[in-house]
Chain A
Amino acid sequence: MDAANRSEGPAIAPLRFSPLIGGFAGTSFKHEHLPAILAEGKQRGFFEVHAENYMGAGGPPHRALEAVRRDHPLSLHGVCMSIGGPQPLDQEHLARFRRLVDRYQPALVSEHLAWSTHGTTYFNDLLPLPYTQATLARACDHIDQMQDVIRRPILLENPSTYVTFRESTMSETDFIRRVAQRTGCGLLLDINNVFVSATNHGFSAAQYLTEFPLSRVGEIHLAGHAWQTDDEDEPLLIDSHDGPVADPVWALFETTIRRCGAIPTLIEWDSKVPDWPILKAEAAAAQAILDRCHSIARRTYGHAAV
Chain B
Amino acid sequence: MRRFEQHPRSVYTAFAAGLMDPSRDTPSAVVGPKGKGAAKRYNVYRNNVTVSLIDALTAIYPAVQRITGPDFFRAMARSHVRAAPPTSPLLFDYGRDFPAFVQQYEYARPTPWLADTARVERAWLDAYHAADAPPLSPTALASVAPDRLADLVFTVHPATRVVRSQFAVVTIFAASRAGTPAERIDASAPEDGLITRPEFDVIVQRLPPGGAVFLDGLMSGRTLAEAASAALEDSQNFDLATNIAGLIEVGAFTSLTSGDGK
Whether A124 pairs with B32 at a CB distance below 8 angstroms is: no
- Per the 8 Å Cβ criterion, residues 32-69 of B in contact with A are 32-34, 36-42, 44-45, 48-49, 52-53, 56
Q: How far is the CB of B37 from chain A (nearest CB, A)?
A: 3
Given contacts A8-B131, A167-B4, A167-B29, contact A80 B89 (CB under 8 A): yes
Whether B12 pairs with A58 at a CB distance below 8 angstroms is: no
- Per the 8 Å Cβ criterion, residues 11-43 of A in contact with B are none
Q: What is the size, in residues, of chain B's interface with A at 8 Å between Cβ atoms?
A: 52
Contact of B41 among A55, A125, A236 (CB under 8 A): A236
CA distance A7 to B44 in the complex (A): 43
Given contacts A9-B132, A229-B40, contact A164 B33 (CB under 8 A): yes
The verdict on A162 contacting chain B, using a C-beta distance below 8 Å, is yes
Given contacts A125-B49, A231-B41, contact A132 B89 (CB under 8 A): no
The verdict on B174 contacting chain A, using a C-beta distance below 8 Å, is no
The verdict on A301 contacting chain B, using a C-beta distance below 8 Å, is no
The verdict on B236 contacting chain A, using a C-beta distance below 8 Å, is no
- Per the 8 Å Cβ criterion, residues 57-90 of A in contact with B are 57-63, 80, 82, 85-87, 90
Whether A57 pairs with B30 at a CB distance below 8 angstroms is: no
Q: Which residues of B contact A (CB under 8 A)?
A: 1, 4-6, 8-9, 11-13, 15-16, 19, 28-34, 36-42, 44-45, 48-49, 52-53, 56, 85-92, 127-133, 158-159, 197, 200
19 more contacts with CB within 8 A, not counting A163-B45, A166-B1, A166-B31, are A55-B90, A56-B128, A58-B131, A58-B132, A86-B12, A117-B89, A118-B13, A122-B89, A125-B19, A130-B11, A133-B5, A134-B6, A163-B31, A166-B4, A166-B28, A167-B11, A201-B32, A231-B37, A231-B40
21 contacts between A and B (CB under 8 A): A9-B132, A58-B131, A58-B133, A58-B158, A61-B129, A118-B12, A121-B16, A122-B89, A123-B19, A130-B8, A132-B8, A163-B30, A163-B31, A163-B42, A164-B30, A165-B30, A166-B31, A167-B4, A229-B40, A231-B36, A231-B37
